[in-house]
Structure 1
Amino acid sequence: MSTPASVAYDYNTQRPRLIIPEYGRHVQRMVEHCMGVEDRTERTRLAKAIILVIGRLNPQLRGSENAERALWDHLYIMSEFKLDVDGPFPKPTAEELDTKPERVPYPKQEIRYGHYGKLVERMIAQCAAMEQGPERDAYTHLIANLMKKQFLTWNRDTVPDGVILKDLAEMSKGKLKLKEESQLASTADLLRAQQNGPRNEVDTRKQRYGNQGGGGGGGKKRHRNRNKKRY
């Protein structure tokens, strides 16, 4: 009795590694075949055909500005930068593609008044540039109340008016100060406005349009009365 011939199994672990696994082993073999072609013109033609194939496998690149350049870079990477063809872009080096982007500089100065927001900072700068007078005083008082409101949004505990006035003076470099007789809105009023503001707006709408709904019902009754037959 004859013994069966041994079957040669092809395991992935025994195959050469895939440089870009997303393209699969067939594309990798196409690249290897292209590299083995001696004629440069034919080799370039095959390379362009491979670009079309991997372009279909990469639909997310369509429409992007550097789509074609990225595909050619992938082709050179799969050839381990050994492919020599007349491509539309110069062949990159491994070092060029491995370079890391420069770090974006980040301001290191401490943000002391972030809870007031950029809008308040711009308002203070504009107010400080105004000529002294009643208009500037009114604007300063408005900004101080806004600062207190922003502070309470950030920290809902009570805040002394002295803290607000001190921050206002520092942020304006000593140019903005409230008059002695000026008083800021109370903490209780500001917190109450934050809690009840949206609810009051809804109630106002109900009051404004509620009566119109009742009037509509009466209109329907009059309409039905008009349709009654008269004898």
Structure 2
Amino acid sequence: MEYNTDRTQLHMPEYGRIIQQLVERCKELENREERDEMAVAIVDFMGQRNPQLRDEDNYKHKLWDHLFILADYDLEVTSPYPIPTREQLAEKPKRMEYPKLQGDFKFYGKSILQLIEKAIELEEGEEKEALIEVIANNMKKSYNIYNKEHVTDDVIFRHLKELSEDRLDLTGLESLEKSKIYHSTSRNKNQKGQGPTQHSKNPNRHRNQQNQNRRK
């Protein structure tokens, strides 16, 4: 009886023992053409056994990389893609840089920074002022949603100045109409929750009056 501990190690268990054995058989072939043909057949078989990979980008490239991993990087075949090495696949990915928008201003979002850069590039005029209004409106909405409190326009302009690294100073800009800046409106409590009117307090009042008249 053959135990798994006596068999060749599975370098990628998700492909199973059968594909691992096929790869080992491919390595033993002395003829290069036969190895190339068998390698192509194995890659196609791997794709059939793992159809979910077809939804990924460059899935064929990944299958060929997996083939060399299964062969423990010891397989001389003609590959349509660069042959990976153990060192390349073991290399750690580069550390991703954190977004510039952090700390107290993270709730504004990256799109605000992009809009600010666009506004800085524009020449003075109506188009630039219109974009500034869009930026201020979105900043104020984001602030109110995240902090759940009212914020004045001056605070928004101060934040905008800091986010733009003083390249977009709106703190003293008089041409921007503050009436166009978003203001959070609270619901009128008396409008929706007001009490019943004098006539709606007693819906049977009119009917009772008629009955009294009949008795008279």
TM-score range, shorter chain: 0.5 to 0.7
Q: What does the per-residue CA deviation read over 1:75-123, in whole Å, with 9 as the maximum and x for residues that have no partner? A: 1111111111223234221112223333333344656555566569959
Does the CA-based 8 Å contact 2:115-2:135 persist in structure 1? no
Partner of 2:157: 168
Unpaired runs of at least 5, structure 1: 1-8, 200-231
**Residues 152 and 192 (structure 1), Cα distance of their counterparts in 2 relative to 1, 3 Å cut:** farther
Partner of 1:129: 124
Task: For 2:173, give the aligned amino acid.
Answer: L
**Residues 149 and 28 (structure 1), Cα distance of their counterparts in 2 relative to 1, 3 Å cut:** closer
Of residues 18, 22, 25, the one that matches 1:26 is 18
Q: What does the per-residue CA deviation read over 1:142-194, in whole Å, with 9 as the maximum and x for residues that have no partner? A: 997887665444434455x5xx3254256352441489xx8999x8x82227x
Q: How does 1:45-60 map to 2 (within 5 A)?
A: 45-60=37-52
Partner of 1:192: 187
TM-score (norm 1): 0.55
Partner of 2:58: 66
2: CA distance, partners of 1:44 / 1:141: 63
1: CA distance, partners of 2:65 / 2:133: 62
Task: Say whether 1:75 aligns with 2:67.
Answer: yes
Aligned residues: 176
2: CA distance, partners of 1:47 / 1:15: 21
Identity %, equivalent residues: 36
2: CA distance, partners of 1:20 / 1:140: 55
Does the CA-based 8 Å contact 2:112-2:139 persist in structure 1? no
Partner of 2:200: none
The structure with the largest alpha-carbon Rg is 1
Deviation at 1:68, TM superposition (A): 2.2
2: CA distance, partners of 1:111 / 1:49: 54
Task: Say whether 1:99 aligns with 2:94.
Answer: no
Partner of 1:42: 34
2: CA distance, partners of 1:20 / 1:74: 8
Task: For 1:54, give the aligned amino acid.
Answer: M
Does the CA-based 8 Å contact 1:115-1:154 persist in structure 2? yes
Does the CA-based 8 Å contact 1:51-1:75 persist in structure 2? yes
Task: For 2:37, give the aligned amino acid.
Answer: R
- The answer to which of 48-57 and 144-153 deviates more is 144-153
TM-score (norm 2): 0.58
**Residues 116 and 177 (structure 1), Cα distance of their counterparts in 2 relative to 1, 3 Å cut:** farther
